[in-house]
Amino acid sequence: MEAIGVLMMCPMNNYLEQELDKRFKLFRYWTQPRQREFLTQQAESIRAVVGNSTVGADAELIDALPKLEIVSCFSVGLDKVDLIKCKEKGIRVSNTPDVLTDDVADLAIGLMLAVLRRICECDKYVRRGAWKFGDFKLTTKFSGKRIGIIGLGRIGLAVAERAEAFDCPINYYSRSKKPNTNYTYYSSVVELASNSDILVVACALTPETTHIVNREVIDALGPKGVLINIGRGPHVDEPELVSALVEGRLGGAGLDVFEREPEVPEQLFGLENVVLLPHVGSGTVETRKAMADLVLGNLEAHFSSKPLLTPVV
């Protein structure tokens, strides 16, 4: 398969990049100073694109690559891929579900504990020597809190199962009520927020779920409520979130994702009730290798005329 051209859109994972280089004819898109000219020159050579949750394959890129057969994503999210265009042109699409579920769900619980127990602030308190002059202030208990989950898919369900171990009642919102679960279903996000102490965003990013957490939802969660976003940044109306936190209309937030990554609102930097992470939900050595192996496996399956391991289109 060394002659098959694969276009990698941006730096993602060293192991993945090395293996693509070994197995295919790898083109590194981010290294091209004149990308449009490059696409024109290599249009007949590139048969696969490897993207992620930051850079995928939009309509313009797809139209520029007439020989494109597959888009293999190093992510679960597919909002950076024009799925309609891919379907029209018969281009296969795959992603990396399941393998990152545990890591993201683990991180969601970690964010809940970090925000409520002020773990980051406690660490700073010890490091700057403040403990010598008095104990840290009291924080808030996590066990028993009502957890509301937007999106009860693989990740949402894994978060729910972990939170149950802390005796947390589980509520959720999704497009329809899920069978075979005893969790409490709410048909609107506002109603879910009103009945939750902690609201977790764990749904896929679509036009319908963009800004699914808006001012009304934030106000329903209230000054003692906590928002945890381990989904995607555009799920939350960021200016509304920032103003609610600054004004005290929301009790706290644990954020792994942001609307304009890597840009983060500076107003959040000085808030001790906010924990900020650089989109590391799947960021463990074990999971990133498993994701890379899925990307490679899907490419090799396609070019060997075998079924995709994780087909989307």
Domains of the chain: 5-95+286-304 (3.40.50.720), 101-276 (3.40.50.720)
- Out of 37, 161, 164, 261, pick the active-site residue: 261
DSSP helix/strand/coil, 137: coil
Instruction: Return mean pLDDT, the chain.
Output: 97
- Out of 17, 146, 279, 300, pick the active-site residue: 279
H or E element at residue 171: strand 170-173
pLDDT in tens, 38-88: 999 999 999 999 999 999 999 999 999 999 999 999 999 999 999 999 999
Distance CA 308, CA 70 (A): 10
H or E element at residue 46: strand 46-51
pLDDT in tens, 205-219: 999 999 999 999 999
CB atoms under 10 Å from CB of 270, counted, come to 8
Is 69 catalytic? The answer is no
Is 279 catalytic? The answer is yes
- Out of 47, 118, 162, 232, pick the active-site residue: 232
Is 232 catalytic? The answer is yes
Residue 305 buriedness (CB in 10 A; 0-12 / 13-18 / 19+)? exposed
Token pair recorded at residue 184: 């409490």
In the predicted structure, residue 1 carries a pLDDT above the cut 90: no
